[in-house]
Amino acid sequence: MSEERNGIAISPGFSVGNALLINQAKTLVEKRKIKTNEIIKEVNKFQSAVEASKDEIRKMKLDIDDEYKIEHIEILDFNILILEDEILASEVIELITKKNINAEWALNDVLTNKSKEFAFVKDLYMQERLADFYYLAERITKNLRGLNQSLIEIKNNTILVAHDLSPIDALKYCKNGRVNGILTDLGGTTSHTAIIARSLGIPTIMSMINISTSVQPGQRIYVDGYKGKAKWKINKNEKLELETLKNDYISFQKNLFEYSKLSGQTKDNRTISIKANIEISSEVKMATKYGAEGIGMYRTEFLFTSKEHFPSLEDQYDDYSELFKGNLFDEVTIRTLDIGGDKIQDYTHIENNPALGLRGIRYSLANMNIFETQLNAIFKVINNKNKKIRILLPMISNLDELDRSLQTINKIKNNYSISSNLFSVGVVIETPSAVLMIKEICERVDFISIGTNDLIQYTIAADRTNETLEDIISHYQPSVLRMLKLITTQVPEDTYVTICGEMANDINCLPLFIGMGIRELSMNYYSIPRIKGVIHDLSYRDCNIILNQCLELTSPKEIKHKLINLIKKEMSSNNRIINYEI
Protein backbone atom coordinates (compact mmCIF):
# COMPACT_ATOMS: atom_id res chain seq x y z
CA MET A 1 0.00 0.00 0.00
CA SER A 2 1.24 3.41 -0.84
CA GLU A 3 1.41 6.02 1.85
CA GLU A 4 0.60 9.67 1.65
CA ARG A 5 0.54 12.72 3.86
CA ASN A 6 -0.85 16.24 3.58
CA GLY A 7 0.52 19.53 4.77
CA ILE A 8 0.45 23.20 3.90
CA ALA A 9 1.27 23.80 0.23
CA ILE A 10 4.11 26.32 0.42
CA SER A 11 5.65 26.37 -3.03
CA PRO A 12 3.95 24.93 -6.14
CA GLY A 13 5.23 22.27 -8.51
CA PHE A 14 5.21 18.53 -9.04
CA SER A 15 8.34 16.46 -8.59
CA VAL A 16 9.85 13.17 -7.57
CA GLY A 17 13.11 12.31 -5.88
CA ASN A 18 14.87 10.35 -3.19
CA ALA A 19 14.53 11.28 0.44
CA LEU A 20 17.49 12.85 2.19
CA LEU A 21 16.77 13.14 5.88
CA ILE A 22 18.56 15.95 7.57
CA ASN A 23 18.54 17.03 11.16
CA GLN A 24 15.91 14.47 11.92
CA ALA A 25 15.24 15.56 15.47
CA LYS A 26 16.12 18.71 17.37
CA THR A 27 19.69 18.42 18.57
CA LEU A 28 19.83 16.88 22.01
CA VAL A 29 21.96 18.81 24.42
CA GLU A 30 23.64 17.42 27.50
CA LYS A 31 24.28 19.42 30.65
CA ARG A 32 27.74 18.88 32.06
CA LYS A 33 29.72 20.44 34.92
CA ILE A 34 33.19 21.53 33.94
CA LYS A 35 36.23 22.02 36.16
CA THR A 36 37.39 25.55 36.88
CA ASN A 37 40.66 24.96 35.03
CA GLU A 38 38.65 23.94 31.95
CA ILE A 39 36.69 27.21 31.79
CA ILE A 40 39.10 29.05 29.51
CA LYS A 41 39.18 26.09 27.16
CA GLU A 42 35.38 25.90 27.11
CA VAL A 43 35.02 29.64 26.39
CA ASN A 44 37.55 29.38 23.58
CA LYS A 45 35.70 26.41 22.18
CA PHE A 46 32.47 28.41 22.19
CA GLN A 47 34.06 31.42 20.52
CA SER A 48 35.65 29.37 17.79
CA ALA A 49 32.37 27.53 17.17
CA VAL A 50 30.66 30.92 16.72
CA GLU A 51 33.47 32.02 14.39
CA ALA A 52 33.21 28.79 12.42
CA SER A 53 29.45 29.28 12.09
CA LYS A 54 29.96 32.84 10.90
CA ASP A 55 32.56 31.70 8.38
CA GLU A 56 30.16 29.10 7.02
CA ILE A 57 27.48 31.72 6.47
CA ARG A 58 29.93 34.23 5.00
CA LYS A 59 31.13 31.58 2.57
CA MET A 60 27.55 30.98 1.53
CA LYS A 61 27.13 34.68 0.88
CA LEU A 62 29.95 34.56 -1.64
CA ASP A 63 28.35 31.64 -3.41
CA ILE A 64 24.98 33.29 -3.87
CA ASP A 65 24.34 34.36 -7.37
CA ASP A 66 20.73 34.19 -8.29
CA GLU A 67 17.81 36.38 -9.20
CA TYR A 68 16.95 37.00 -5.55
CA LYS A 69 20.52 37.78 -4.52
CA ILE A 70 19.74 40.90 -2.49
CA GLU A 71 16.94 39.32 -0.48
CA HIS A 72 18.91 36.16 0.21
CA ILE A 73 21.99 38.10 1.31
CA GLU A 74 19.87 40.20 3.67
CA ILE A 75 18.61 37.05 5.35
CA LEU A 76 22.16 35.77 5.78
CA ASP A 77 23.32 39.15 7.10
CA PHE A 78 20.63 39.05 9.74
CA ASN A 79 21.95 35.69 10.87
CA ILE A 80 25.54 36.93 10.95
CA LEU A 81 24.51 39.89 13.12
CA ILE A 82 22.93 37.59 15.66
CA LEU A 83 26.18 35.62 15.83
CA GLU A 84 28.14 38.83 16.30
CA ASP A 85 25.82 40.06 19.01
CA GLU A 86 27.62 41.01 22.23
CA ILE A 87 24.61 40.17 24.38
CA LEU A 88 24.48 36.62 23.12
CA ALA A 89 28.21 36.01 23.51
CA SER A 90 28.57 37.69 26.90
CA GLU A 91 25.60 35.91 28.44
CA VAL A 92 26.80 32.53 27.27
CA ILE A 93 30.36 33.16 28.47
CA GLU A 94 29.06 34.40 31.81
CA LEU A 95 27.11 31.18 32.30
CA ILE A 96 30.12 29.07 31.40
CA THR A 97 32.43 30.92 33.79
CA LYS A 98 30.10 31.54 36.72
CA LYS A 99 28.23 28.28 36.78
CA ASN A 100 30.93 25.97 35.49
CA ILE A 101 28.74 24.47 32.80
CA ASN A 102 29.50 23.29 29.30
CA ALA A 103 29.16 25.65 26.32
CA GLU A 104 26.41 23.67 24.59
CA TRP A 105 24.14 23.86 27.57
CA ALA A 106 24.93 27.53 28.25
CA LEU A 107 24.11 28.48 24.68
CA ASN A 108 20.79 26.67 24.68
CA ASP A 109 19.92 28.09 28.08
CA VAL A 110 20.52 31.66 26.90
CA LEU A 111 18.51 31.16 23.73
CA THR A 112 15.62 29.58 25.61
CA ASN A 113 15.50 32.62 27.87
CA LYS A 114 15.73 34.94 24.88
CA SER A 115 12.79 33.24 23.27
CA LYS A 116 10.77 33.82 26.45
CA GLU A 117 11.57 37.52 26.18
CA PHE A 118 10.17 37.50 22.67
CA ALA A 119 7.16 35.35 23.46
CA PHE A 120 5.01 38.41 24.18
CA VAL A 121 5.48 39.68 20.63
CA LYS A 122 2.24 38.65 18.98
CA ASP A 123 3.38 39.54 15.51
CA LEU A 124 3.47 36.42 13.34
CA TYR A 125 6.14 37.86 11.03
CA MET A 126 8.39 38.43 14.02
CA GLN A 127 7.70 35.01 15.49
CA GLU A 128 8.82 33.29 12.34
CA ARG A 129 12.10 35.24 12.32
CA LEU A 130 12.76 33.96 15.82
CA ALA A 131 12.98 30.50 14.34
CA ASP A 132 16.29 31.70 12.87
CA PHE A 133 17.73 31.84 16.43
CA TYR A 134 17.17 28.17 16.94
CA TYR A 135 18.74 27.24 13.65
CA LEU A 136 21.80 29.24 14.67
CA ALA A 137 21.94 27.51 18.04
CA GLU A 138 21.95 24.18 16.25
CA ARG A 139 24.66 25.32 13.88
CA ILE A 140 26.90 26.46 16.74
CA THR A 141 26.18 23.26 18.63
CA LYS A 142 27.25 21.21 15.65
CA ASN A 143 30.45 23.21 15.38
CA LEU A 144 31.06 22.75 19.09
CA ARG A 145 30.84 19.04 18.60
CA GLY A 146 33.13 19.18 15.61
CA LEU A 147 30.63 17.58 13.27
CA ASN A 148 30.92 18.95 9.83
CA GLN A 149 27.57 19.41 8.18
CA SER A 150 29.01 20.05 4.77
CA LEU A 151 29.90 16.36 4.63
CA ILE A 152 26.32 15.76 3.58
CA GLU A 153 26.38 15.13 -0.11
CA ILE A 154 23.41 16.26 -2.16
CA LYS A 155 22.83 13.92 -5.07
CA ASN A 156 20.67 14.68 -8.07
CA ASN A 157 16.91 14.40 -7.52
CA THR A 158 16.92 14.89 -3.80
CA ILE A 159 13.84 15.48 -1.68
CA LEU A 160 14.92 17.16 1.53
CA VAL A 161 12.99 15.84 4.51
CA ALA A 162 13.48 17.55 7.86
CA HIS A 163 11.81 18.23 11.15
CA ASP A 164 12.41 21.87 10.38
CA LEU A 165 14.66 23.55 7.84
CA SER A 166 16.53 26.78 8.42
CA PRO A 167 16.58 29.39 5.66
CA ILE A 168 20.36 29.04 5.65
CA ASP A 169 20.24 25.31 5.08
CA ALA A 170 17.50 25.73 2.48
CA LEU A 171 19.77 28.05 0.52
CA LYS A 172 22.85 25.96 1.07
CA TYR A 173 21.34 22.67 -0.03
CA CYS A 174 19.13 23.95 -2.83
CA LYS A 175 21.40 26.29 -4.73
CA ASN A 176 23.01 23.62 -6.91
CA GLY A 177 19.67 22.72 -8.48
CA ARG A 178 19.77 19.13 -7.25
CA VAL A 179 16.92 19.44 -4.77
CA ASN A 180 13.51 18.63 -6.24
CA GLY A 181 11.38 19.13 -3.18
CA ILE A 182 11.26 20.04 0.48
CA LEU A 183 9.07 18.43 3.15
CA THR A 184 9.08 19.51 6.79
CA ASP A 185 7.21 18.76 10.01
CA LEU A 186 7.07 22.41 11.01
CA GLY A 187 6.95 25.80 9.30
CA GLY A 188 4.45 28.16 7.75
CA THR A 189 3.72 30.32 4.73
CA THR A 190 5.53 33.45 5.87
CA SER A 191 8.75 31.88 7.16
CA HIS A 192 12.08 32.81 5.60
CA THR A 193 12.45 29.23 4.39
CA ALA A 194 9.09 29.39 2.58
CA ILE A 195 10.09 32.65 0.89
CA ILE A 196 13.34 31.09 -0.29
CA ALA A 197 11.65 27.90 -1.52
CA ARG A 198 9.14 29.88 -3.58
CA SER A 199 11.78 32.14 -5.06
CA LEU A 200 13.85 29.11 -6.07
CA GLY A 201 10.76 27.36 -7.48
CA ILE A 202 11.18 24.20 -5.40
CA PRO A 203 7.94 22.31 -4.67
CA THR A 204 7.59 22.54 -0.89
CA ILE A 205 5.16 21.30 1.74
CA MET A 206 5.37 22.26 5.41
CA SER A 207 3.49 21.41 8.61
CA MET A 208 3.36 17.73 7.63
CA ILE A 209 2.88 15.87 10.87
CA ASN A 210 5.85 13.57 11.61
CA ILE A 211 6.99 13.40 7.99
CA SER A 212 10.61 13.35 9.17
CA THR A 213 10.03 10.17 11.18
CA SER A 214 7.74 8.50 8.64
CA VAL A 215 9.90 8.20 5.55
CA GLN A 216 13.09 6.19 5.18
CA PRO A 217 16.35 7.60 3.82
CA GLY A 218 16.58 7.10 0.08
CA GLN A 219 12.86 6.42 -0.31
CA ARG A 220 11.35 7.62 -3.57
CA ILE A 221 8.80 10.36 -2.84
CA TYR A 222 6.35 12.17 -5.10
CA VAL A 223 5.75 15.77 -4.08
CA ASP A 224 2.71 17.74 -5.16
CA GLY A 225 3.40 21.28 -4.10
CA TYR A 226 0.10 22.49 -5.52
CA LYS A 227 -2.05 20.37 -3.27
CA GLY A 228 0.35 20.01 -0.38
CA LYS A 229 0.47 16.22 -0.74
CA ALA A 230 3.37 13.74 -0.75
CA LYS A 231 3.24 10.04 -1.68
CA TRP A 232 5.70 7.18 -1.22
CA LYS A 233 5.81 3.35 -1.29
CA ILE A 234 4.15 3.56 -4.66
CA ASN A 235 2.94 0.40 -6.45
CA LYS A 236 3.52 -0.28 -10.16
CA ASN A 237 0.21 1.04 -11.49
CA GLU A 238 0.35 4.21 -9.49
CA LYS A 239 3.95 4.68 -10.50
CA LEU A 240 3.12 4.74 -14.17
CA GLU A 241 0.46 7.34 -13.56
CA LEU A 242 2.64 9.52 -11.33
CA GLU A 243 5.60 9.34 -13.72
CA THR A 244 3.37 10.57 -16.54
CA LEU A 245 2.21 13.44 -14.38
CA LYS A 246 5.77 14.28 -13.47
CA ASN A 247 6.90 14.28 -17.10
CA ASP A 248 3.90 16.39 -18.10
CA TYR A 249 4.82 18.80 -15.37
CA ILE A 250 8.43 19.03 -16.52
CA SER A 251 7.47 19.75 -20.12
CA PHE A 252 4.81 22.14 -18.89
CA GLN A 253 7.37 24.00 -16.76
CA LYS A 254 9.52 24.46 -19.84
CA ASN A 255 6.62 26.10 -21.63
CA LEU A 256 5.25 27.93 -18.62
CA PHE A 257 6.03 31.37 -19.82
CA GLU A 258 4.80 30.65 -23.30
CA TYR A 259 1.41 29.77 -21.79
CA SER A 260 1.42 32.73 -19.45
CA LYS A 261 1.46 35.07 -22.44
CA LEU A 262 -1.63 33.53 -24.03
CA SER A 263 -4.94 35.34 -23.91
CA GLY A 264 -7.84 33.53 -22.30
CA GLN A 265 -9.62 32.91 -25.58
CA THR A 266 -11.54 29.83 -26.70
CA LYS A 267 -11.32 28.29 -30.19
CA ASP A 268 -14.55 30.07 -31.09
CA ASN A 269 -13.27 33.44 -29.83
CA ARG A 270 -14.95 33.80 -26.47
CA THR A 271 -12.69 35.70 -24.12
CA ILE A 272 -12.38 34.87 -20.45
CA SER A 273 -10.38 37.19 -18.30
CA ILE A 274 -7.86 35.31 -16.15
CA LYS A 275 -6.90 37.05 -12.95
CA ALA A 276 -5.03 36.29 -9.76
CA ASN A 277 -6.06 35.88 -6.13
CA ILE A 278 -3.37 37.28 -3.86
CA GLU A 279 -2.84 37.52 -0.11
CA ILE A 280 0.06 39.93 0.13
CA SER A 281 0.07 43.15 -1.91
CA SER A 282 3.63 42.65 -3.14
CA GLU A 283 2.52 39.46 -4.93
CA VAL A 284 1.33 41.60 -7.86
CA LYS A 285 4.80 41.21 -9.36
CA MET A 286 4.68 37.40 -9.37
CA ALA A 287 1.07 37.49 -10.59
CA THR A 288 2.12 39.44 -13.68
CA LYS A 289 5.00 37.09 -14.30
CA TYR A 290 2.56 34.17 -14.41
CA GLY A 291 0.27 35.97 -16.85
CA ALA A 292 -2.45 37.41 -14.59
CA GLU A 293 -4.54 40.02 -16.41
CA GLY A 294 -5.50 41.67 -13.18
CA ILE A 295 -6.08 41.05 -9.50
CA GLY A 296 -9.44 39.32 -9.19
CA MET A 297 -9.30 39.21 -5.43
CA TYR A 298 -6.92 40.70 -2.91
CA ARG A 299 -7.68 39.01 0.39
CA THR A 300 -6.97 41.56 3.10
CA GLU A 301 -6.89 39.16 6.05
CA PHE A 302 -3.12 38.74 6.16
CA LEU A 303 -2.70 42.50 6.46
CA PHE A 304 -5.04 42.48 9.44
CA THR A 305 -3.72 39.43 11.26
CA SER A 306 0.02 39.87 10.70
CA LYS A 307 0.29 42.77 13.10
CA GLU A 308 -0.23 43.32 16.76
CA HIS A 309 -2.84 45.99 16.06
CA PHE A 310 -5.33 46.39 13.29
CA PRO A 311 -3.75 48.40 10.48
CA SER A 312 -4.50 52.12 10.54
CA LEU A 313 -5.92 54.06 7.61
CA GLU A 314 -2.36 55.02 6.62
CA ASP A 315 -1.12 51.42 6.88
CA GLN A 316 -3.93 50.28 4.65
CA TYR A 317 -3.49 53.19 2.26
CA ASP A 318 0.19 52.29 1.85
CA ASP A 319 -0.62 48.63 1.42
CA TYR A 320 -3.35 49.12 -1.19
CA SER A 321 -1.19 51.62 -3.06
CA GLU A 322 1.40 48.87 -3.37
CA LEU A 323 -1.06 46.99 -5.64
CA PHE A 324 -0.58 49.69 -8.27
CA LYS A 325 3.18 49.88 -7.93
CA GLY A 326 4.90 49.69 -11.29
CA ASN A 327 1.54 50.30 -12.97
CA LEU A 328 1.10 46.60 -13.63
CA PHE A 329 -2.69 46.79 -13.48
CA ASP A 330 -5.24 49.56 -14.02
CA GLU A 331 -7.84 47.88 -11.88
CA VAL A 332 -7.75 45.61 -8.86
CA THR A 333 -10.37 43.94 -6.71
CA ILE A 334 -10.11 44.30 -2.95
CA ARG A 335 -12.20 42.03 -0.80
CA THR A 336 -13.12 43.69 2.47
CA LEU A 337 -12.07 41.91 5.64
CA ASP A 338 -13.29 38.31 5.75
CA ILE A 339 -12.35 37.42 9.24
CA GLY A 340 -14.07 35.20 11.76
CA GLY A 341 -14.28 35.73 15.50
CA ASP A 342 -11.87 32.86 16.00
CA LYS A 343 -9.04 34.70 14.27
CA ILE A 344 -9.17 37.81 16.38
CA GLN A 345 -6.84 37.64 19.31
CA ASP A 346 -8.48 39.99 21.77
CA TYR A 347 -11.92 38.74 20.92
CA THR A 348 -13.43 37.65 24.22
CA HIS A 349 -16.36 35.65 22.97
CA ILE A 350 -15.33 32.28 21.55
CA GLU A 351 -17.75 30.95 18.98
CA ASN A 352 -18.71 27.28 18.81
CA ASN A 353 -18.98 27.34 15.06
CA PRO A 354 -16.91 30.17 13.57
CA ALA A 355 -17.67 29.22 9.94
CA LEU A 356 -21.30 30.02 10.73
CA GLY A 357 -20.52 32.86 13.11
CA LEU A 358 -19.77 36.54 13.08
CA ARG A 359 -17.54 36.59 10.03
CA GLY A 360 -17.08 38.50 6.77
CA ILE A 361 -19.50 41.37 6.31
CA ARG A 362 -21.23 40.45 9.58
CA TYR A 363 -18.05 41.27 11.47
CA SER A 364 -17.51 44.48 9.48
CA LEU A 365 -21.06 45.70 10.12
CA ALA A 366 -20.72 44.92 13.81
CA ASN A 367 -17.42 46.83 13.91
CA MET A 368 -18.30 49.86 11.84
CA ASN A 369 -15.08 51.76 12.66
CA ILE A 370 -12.97 48.92 11.18
CA PHE A 371 -15.20 48.73 8.09
CA GLU A 372 -15.21 52.50 7.57
CA THR A 373 -11.43 52.73 7.99
CA GLN A 374 -10.94 50.06 5.35
CA LEU A 375 -13.33 51.78 2.93
CA ASN A 376 -11.67 55.13 3.60
CA ALA A 377 -8.27 53.66 2.72
CA ILE A 378 -9.68 52.18 -0.50
CA PHE A 379 -11.31 55.45 -1.61
CA LYS A 380 -8.22 57.43 -0.69
CA VAL A 381 -6.17 55.24 -3.05
CA ILE A 382 -8.76 55.67 -5.83
CA ASN A 383 -8.74 59.41 -5.23
CA ASN A 384 -4.98 59.95 -5.01
CA LYS A 385 -3.82 57.41 -7.58
CA ASN A 386 -6.69 57.80 -10.03
CA LYS A 387 -6.96 54.02 -10.33
CA LYS A 388 -9.96 51.72 -10.51
CA ILE A 389 -10.85 49.51 -7.57
CA ARG A 390 -13.57 46.92 -7.35
CA ILE A 391 -14.84 46.50 -3.80
CA LEU A 392 -15.90 42.96 -3.01
CA LEU A 393 -18.13 42.21 0.01
CA PRO A 394 -17.76 38.73 1.57
CA MET A 395 -20.43 36.57 3.26
CA ILE A 396 -23.48 38.60 2.29
CA SER A 397 -26.47 36.41 3.12
CA ASN A 398 -29.38 38.86 3.08
CA LEU A 399 -30.44 42.16 1.54
CA ASP A 400 -30.36 44.07 4.81
CA GLU A 401 -26.62 43.40 5.15
CA LEU A 402 -26.08 44.43 1.57
CA ASP A 403 -28.12 47.63 1.87
CA ARG A 404 -26.33 48.65 5.05
CA SER A 405 -22.95 47.95 3.42
CA LEU A 406 -23.88 49.98 0.36
CA GLN A 407 -25.04 52.89 2.53
CA THR A 408 -21.72 52.86 4.35
CA ILE A 409 -19.78 52.70 1.09
CA ASN A 410 -21.79 55.63 -0.21
CA LYS A 411 -21.22 57.63 2.93
CA ILE A 412 -17.44 57.14 2.82
CA LYS A 413 -17.31 57.73 -0.93
CA ASN A 414 -18.87 61.15 -0.38
CA ASN A 415 -15.76 62.21 1.56
CA TYR A 416 -13.99 62.22 -1.79
CA SER A 417 -14.89 63.60 -5.17
CA ILE A 418 -14.48 60.46 -7.19
CA SER A 419 -16.06 59.79 -10.55
CA SER A 420 -18.28 56.73 -10.39
CA ASN A 421 -16.42 54.92 -13.17
CA LEU A 422 -13.39 54.56 -10.89
CA PHE A 423 -15.02 52.06 -8.58
CA SER A 424 -17.59 49.32 -8.56
CA VAL A 425 -19.12 47.15 -5.87
CA GLY A 426 -19.63 43.41 -5.95
CA VAL A 427 -20.73 40.62 -3.66
CA VAL A 428 -19.13 37.25 -3.06
CA ILE A 429 -21.89 34.73 -3.62
CA GLU A 430 -21.00 32.07 -1.10
CA THR A 431 -24.14 31.30 0.88
CA PRO A 432 -27.14 29.40 -0.48
CA SER A 433 -29.23 32.25 0.93
CA ALA A 434 -27.50 34.73 -1.38
CA VAL A 435 -28.05 32.38 -4.31
CA LEU A 436 -31.78 32.41 -3.67
CA MET A 437 -31.77 36.21 -3.47
CA ILE A 438 -29.50 36.63 -6.49
CA LYS A 439 -31.92 38.68 -8.59
CA GLU A 440 -32.37 41.32 -5.91
CA ILE A 441 -28.64 41.33 -5.14
CA CYS A 442 -27.76 41.93 -8.79
CA GLU A 443 -30.16 44.87 -8.93
CA ARG A 444 -28.03 46.53 -6.25
CA VAL A 445 -24.45 45.79 -7.34
CA ASP A 446 -22.21 45.94 -10.41
CA PHE A 447 -20.80 42.43 -10.29
CA ILE A 448 -20.87 39.17 -8.40
CA SER A 449 -18.03 36.79 -7.67
CA ILE A 450 -18.94 33.20 -6.94
CA GLY A 451 -16.85 32.06 -3.99
CA THR A 452 -16.91 28.35 -4.69
CA ASN A 453 -15.00 27.19 -1.58
CA ASP A 454 -17.55 28.41 0.92
CA LEU A 455 -20.53 27.99 -1.37
CA ILE A 456 -19.72 24.27 -1.64
CA GLN A 457 -19.15 23.97 2.11
CA TYR A 458 -22.48 25.64 2.89
CA THR A 459 -24.39 23.83 0.15
CA ILE A 460 -23.25 20.39 1.26
CA ALA A 461 -23.09 21.34 4.96
CA ALA A 462 -19.64 19.80 5.19
CA ASP A 463 -16.57 21.38 6.76
CA ARG A 464 -13.95 21.76 4.05
CA THR A 465 -11.09 21.42 6.52
CA ASN A 466 -12.32 18.02 7.68
CA GLU A 467 -10.25 15.44 5.82
CA THR A 468 -12.67 12.58 6.41
CA LEU A 469 -15.30 14.46 4.40
CA GLU A 470 -13.06 14.92 1.37
CA ASP A 471 -15.18 12.70 -0.91
CA ILE A 472 -18.45 14.33 0.09
CA ILE A 473 -17.25 17.89 -0.33
CA SER A 474 -16.20 17.46 -3.96
CA HIS A 475 -16.96 20.27 -6.37
CA TYR A 476 -18.19 17.62 -8.80
CA GLN A 477 -21.29 17.03 -6.66
CA PRO A 478 -24.37 17.49 -8.87
CA SER A 479 -25.87 19.78 -6.23
CA VAL A 480 -22.90 22.14 -6.63
CA LEU A 481 -23.37 22.20 -10.39
CA ARG A 482 -27.05 22.94 -10.06
CA MET A 483 -26.31 25.66 -7.54
CA LEU A 484 -23.96 27.35 -10.04
CA LYS A 485 -26.51 26.96 -12.79
CA LEU A 486 -29.18 28.49 -10.54
CA ILE A 487 -26.97 31.56 -10.13
CA THR A 488 -25.95 32.04 -13.73
CA THR A 489 -29.42 31.61 -15.22
CA GLN A 490 -30.88 34.27 -12.93
CA VAL A 491 -28.17 36.89 -13.28
CA PRO A 492 -29.21 39.77 -15.56
CA GLU A 493 -27.18 40.41 -18.73
CA ASP A 494 -25.45 43.51 -17.43
CA THR A 495 -24.09 41.92 -14.24
CA TYR A 496 -20.51 40.81 -14.58
CA VAL A 497 -19.94 37.32 -13.14
CA THR A 498 -16.61 36.04 -11.92
CA ILE A 499 -15.47 32.87 -10.15
CA CYS A 500 -13.00 32.91 -7.31
CA GLY A 501 -12.18 29.76 -5.39
CA GLU A 502 -10.31 26.51 -5.87
CA MET A 503 -12.76 25.28 -8.48
CA ALA A 504 -11.51 27.96 -10.88
CA ASN A 505 -8.09 26.34 -11.12
CA ASP A 506 -9.31 22.79 -11.72
CA ILE A 507 -8.91 22.34 -15.47
CA ASN A 508 -11.70 19.78 -15.53
CA CYS A 509 -14.18 22.41 -14.39
CA LEU A 510 -13.21 24.91 -17.08
CA PRO A 511 -15.77 23.56 -19.59
CA LEU A 512 -18.52 24.15 -17.01
CA PHE A 513 -17.57 27.78 -16.52
CA ILE A 514 -17.10 28.45 -20.21
CA GLY A 515 -20.43 26.77 -20.90
CA MET A 516 -22.16 28.97 -18.32
CA GLY A 517 -20.80 32.09 -19.98
CA ILE A 518 -18.57 33.15 -17.05
CA ARG A 519 -16.41 36.11 -18.08
CA GLU A 520 -13.72 36.06 -15.46
CA LEU A 521 -11.85 33.46 -13.41
CA SER A 522 -9.62 34.40 -10.53
CA MET A 523 -7.15 31.92 -9.07
CA ASN A 524 -3.73 31.30 -7.48
CA TYR A 525 -1.26 32.94 -9.79
CA TYR A 526 0.75 29.79 -10.39
CA SER A 527 -2.31 28.06 -11.88
CA ILE A 528 -2.78 30.73 -14.54
CA PRO A 529 -0.47 29.43 -17.30
CA ARG A 530 -2.02 25.96 -17.02
CA ILE A 531 -5.56 27.30 -17.27
CA LYS A 532 -4.71 29.59 -20.17
CA GLY A 533 -3.13 26.66 -21.99
CA VAL A 534 -6.36 24.67 -21.71
CA ILE A 535 -8.86 27.41 -22.57
CA HIS A 536 -7.28 27.75 -26.00
CA ASP A 537 -8.21 24.21 -26.93
CA LEU A 538 -11.85 24.42 -25.82
CA SER A 539 -14.84 25.93 -27.56
CA TYR A 540 -17.89 27.57 -26.06
CA ARG A 541 -20.11 25.37 -28.19
CA ASP A 542 -18.69 22.05 -26.92
CA CYS A 543 -18.53 23.33 -23.37
CA ASN A 544 -22.18 24.32 -23.42
CA ILE A 545 -23.17 20.87 -24.64
CA ILE A 546 -21.09 19.19 -21.93
CA LEU A 547 -22.52 21.49 -19.28
CA ASN A 548 -26.06 20.50 -20.18
CA GLN A 549 -25.12 16.82 -20.21
CA CYS A 550 -23.47 17.16 -16.79
CA LEU A 551 -26.54 18.84 -15.36
CA GLU A 552 -28.48 15.66 -16.18
CA LEU A 553 -26.04 13.45 -14.27
CA THR A 554 -26.59 12.45 -10.66
CA SER A 555 -23.21 11.31 -9.33
CA PRO A 556 -19.95 13.23 -8.84
CA LYS A 557 -18.03 10.33 -10.38
CA GLU A 558 -20.00 10.46 -13.64
CA ILE A 559 -19.64 14.22 -13.86
CA LYS A 560 -15.89 14.14 -13.28
CA HIS A 561 -15.51 11.31 -15.78
CA LYS A 562 -17.44 13.19 -18.45
CA LEU A 563 -15.39 16.33 -17.96
CA ILE A 564 -12.06 14.51 -17.98
CA ASN A 565 -13.03 12.76 -21.21
CA LEU A 566 -13.78 16.06 -22.91
CA ILE A 567 -10.49 17.55 -21.75
CA LYS A 568 -8.56 14.48 -22.88
CA LYS A 569 -10.25 14.54 -26.28
CA GLU A 570 -9.67 18.23 -26.87
CA MET A 571 -6.10 18.13 -25.67
CA SER A 572 -5.05 14.95 -27.45
CA SER A 573 -3.79 16.83 -30.48
CA ASN A 574 -1.28 18.75 -28.44
CA ASN A 575 0.51 17.93 -25.29
CA ARG A 576 0.02 21.21 -23.51
CA ILE A 577 -2.02 19.86 -20.71
CA ILE A 578 -0.82 18.91 -17.35
CA ASN A 579 -3.24 16.92 -15.31
CA TYR A 580 -1.52 16.41 -12.02
CA GLU A 581 -4.45 14.82 -10.22
CA ILE A 582 -3.15 12.22 -7.81
Of 153, 150, 149, 127, residue with least CA distance to 138: 149
Cβ neighbours for 465, distance < 8 A, ≥ 6 positions apart:
none
Distances (CA, A) of 414 to 372, 380, 385: 12, 11, 17
List phi, psi (to 5°) of 450: -85, 115
CB of 249 to another protein, least distance (A): 34
Q: How far apart are the first and last CA of the chain?
A: 15
Nearer to another protein, 195 or 450 (CB): 195
CB of 314 to another protein, least distance (A): 8
Nearer to another protein, 224 or 319 (CB): 319
Distance from C-alpha of 139 to C-alpha of 108, rounded to nearest angstrom:
12
DSSP letters, 105-121, are HHHHHHHHHHHHHHTT-
CB of 62 to another protein, least distance (A): 18
Nearer to another protein, 88 or 521 (CB): 88
- Give the interface with another protein as residue ranges (CB under 8 A): 74, 77-78, 81-82, 84-88, 114, 117-118, 120-121, 123, 125-126, 129, 132, 307-309, 312, 314-315, 318-319, 321, 325
Of 465, 372, 386, residue with least CA distance to 415: 372
Nearer to another protein, 86 or 493 (CB): 86
Distances (CA, A) of 79 to 57, 112, 176, 422, 513: 8, 17, 22, 46, 49
337 within 8 A of 363, measured Cβ to Cβ: yes
CB of 321 to another protein, least distance (A): 7
Distance from C-alpha of 569 to C-alpha of 561, rounded to nearest angstrom:
12
CB of 351 to another protein, least distance (A): 28
CB of 121 to another protein, least distance (A): 5
Nearer to another protein, 54 or 562 (CB): 54
CB of 91 to another protein, least distance (A): 9
Nearer to another protein, 129 or 390 (CB): 129
**Angle at which helices 69-84 and 39-63 pack, to 10 degrees?**
170
CB of 417 to another protein, least distance (A): 22
Of 433, 551, 558, 428, residue with least CA distance to 498: 428
Number of C-beta neighbours around residue 135 at 10 A: 20
Nearer to another protein, 318 or 331 (CB): 318
Specify which residues 22 forms β-bridges with. 162
Nearer to another protein, 324 or 363 (CB): 324
For residue 253, give the amino acid letter: Q
Distance from C-alpha of 286 to C-alpha of 280, rounded to nearest angstrom:
11
